[in-house]
Amino acid sequence: MFRPLQDIRVLDLTNVLAGPFACHQLAHMGADVIKVEARQGGDLARQLGADADLNRALMGVSFLAQNPGKRSITIDLKHPDGKEVFRRLVASADVLVENFRPGVMDRLGLGYRTLLEVHPKLVYCAISGFGQDGPLRDLPAYDQIIQGMSGLMSITGAPENAPYRVGYPVADTIGGLTAAFAISSALAARERTGGTFIDVSMLEAVMATMGWAVSNHLIAGREPRPMGNDNVTASPSGTFRTGDGLINIAANKQEQFEAVCAVVGRPALAADPRFAERQGRLQHRAELKAALEDAMASGTTDDWWRRFNAAGVPAGPVYTVAQALDHPQVAGRGMVGTFADAPGVGRDIRVIRTGFKIDGRAPEVSAPPPTLGQHSDEILAELGYSPQAIDALRSDHAL
């Protein structure tokens, strides 16, 4: 298995999603990810998810989803002895990831500049809603707040119901991917640059992925607007109703549009002055959609999907999450991993891995998500603590 980060130790001080998701990606690349958690409760995600029993057991579904392959240690970062344990842990590590509000680690006496004295080549990644400077730096930020303030919600939904939030925590996830990319890049240059401070702003990370919408405003002076399921650059390109459901069609080229007309049995539409050219199709999108949906009312989504793709027109059904997971295209590529009798859960669990393969294999981790503090003794022993010293730390509530 290709594990490019197998000699890298990552300290994951993060909570809930953006940071844990970033470290989840690094774990799949072979990093030894140590989750540093508060001894009372740990990561808030341990209490979040659709299964109330797991939430009470501090193994919530939200935690299980992002933490396979990690080890957990509890440390009280406010306790003097806990700080010393943490500094020794930093000395053994390569990367630290945190998503506290800006300034929290400095107030604990464990900020980047201080930790560089412990580890001069430390890659330190701070993830926050708005970044480490600017007028909003001290404000808390959650996914939906960032979706709203980035402009993302303003272009999501249809004109009659926008603004709408994306149906999963996309801002957190994008922030996590941005952090993982930046960390990997910093590690590649570490021997030349030494220590690195990475400042990930979730707000900016989301806006960076909105390239087309933002550029239409910056360059063309066109204000982005919500268009529902329609494609801003082409028609017919979007979601259409069939005889039994919905289908997505992406006829972005002239020849694809003409093929759509032929497949649905309405070749005259291709010569209609309203639709013959790209700009006309955009101006008369509603009329074209109505004509195509009328033609497709006689068949099923599965039938039209097959016929469109055979004619060279990209098309596909609109699936539920369960349908997508069960499809052979997903199920057959190893994207879903299974952990038998996961600790703290009492049953098998299935979780999503990464979205890529390397040399034909999907990256995977071997260990299930950890219970709170599961590996404390193991990690402390690696740092040179004796069993007696570990017992003393625990008795003193430093762990």
List the catalytic residue out of 32, 43, 76, 172: 172
Q: What does the pLDDT read at residue 296?
A: 97
Active site residue 172: yes
Would you say residue 1 lies in a domain? no
pLDDT of the residue at 193: 83
Beta bridge partners of 11: 34, 96
Question: What is the pLDDT at residue 208?
Answer: 96
With respect to residue 93, please indicate whether it lies within any of the assigned structural domains.
yes
Q: Which domain holds residue 307?
A: 237-318
Indicate the residue type of 85. Answer: V
Q: Which of 263, 288, 318 is the last residue of a domain?
A: 318
Check which CATH number belongs to the domain holding 72 and give it. 3.40.50.10540
99 in any annotated domain = yes
Are 282 and 345 found together in one domain? no
My answer on whether 363 and 305 are in the same domain is no
* Same domain for 289 and 162: no
Question: Which residues touch 374 (CB under 8 Å, ≥6 apart)?
Answer: 71, 72, 343
Tell whether 314 and 350 lie within a shared domain: no
Residues 55, 23 share a domain: yes
What is the distance between the alpha carbons of residues 237 and 232, in angstroms, rounded to a whole number?
9
- Which residues touch 84 (CB under 8 Å, ≥6 apart)? none
d(CA 372, CA 39): 8
pLDDT digit string (tens) for 45-82?
999 999 999 999 999 999 999 999 999 999 999 999 99
Intervals of the chain under pLDDT 70: none
- The verdict on residue 297 lying in a domain is yes
Same domain, 179 and 273: no
Distance between CA atoms of residues 298 and 292, nearest Å: 11
pLDDT reported for residue 58? 97
For 350-375, the pLDDT digits (tens) are: 999 999 999 998 899 999 999 999 99
63 domain-assigned: yes
Final residue of a domain: which of 262, 290, 318?
318
Q: Could you tell me if 240 and 289 are in contact, meaning their C-beta atoms sit under 8 angstroms apart? A: yes
Domains in the chain: how many in total? 2
Query: 312 with 336, same domain?
Result: no
Domain boundary (318, 352, 378) is at: 318
The count of residues in the chain is 399
Residues 243 and 305 in one domain: yes
146 in the same domain as 33: yes
Identify the three-state secondary structure at position 104. Answer: helix
CA distance 100 to 90: 17
Q: What pLDDT sits at residue 212?
A: 87
Any domain includes 105: yes
The verdict on 311 and 354 lying in the same domain is no
* 4 found inside a domain: no
Q: 197 and 170, same structural domain? A: yes
Q: Kindly report each contact of residues 217-224 with a partner whose C-beta sits within 8 Å and lies 24 or more positions away, as own/partner.
A: 224/151, 224/154, 224/155
Same domain? 294 vs 171:
no
Q: Provide the 8-state DSSP code for 298.
A: T
- Return the CATH number at 245: 3.30.1540.10
Whether 166 maps to a domain, the answer reads: yes
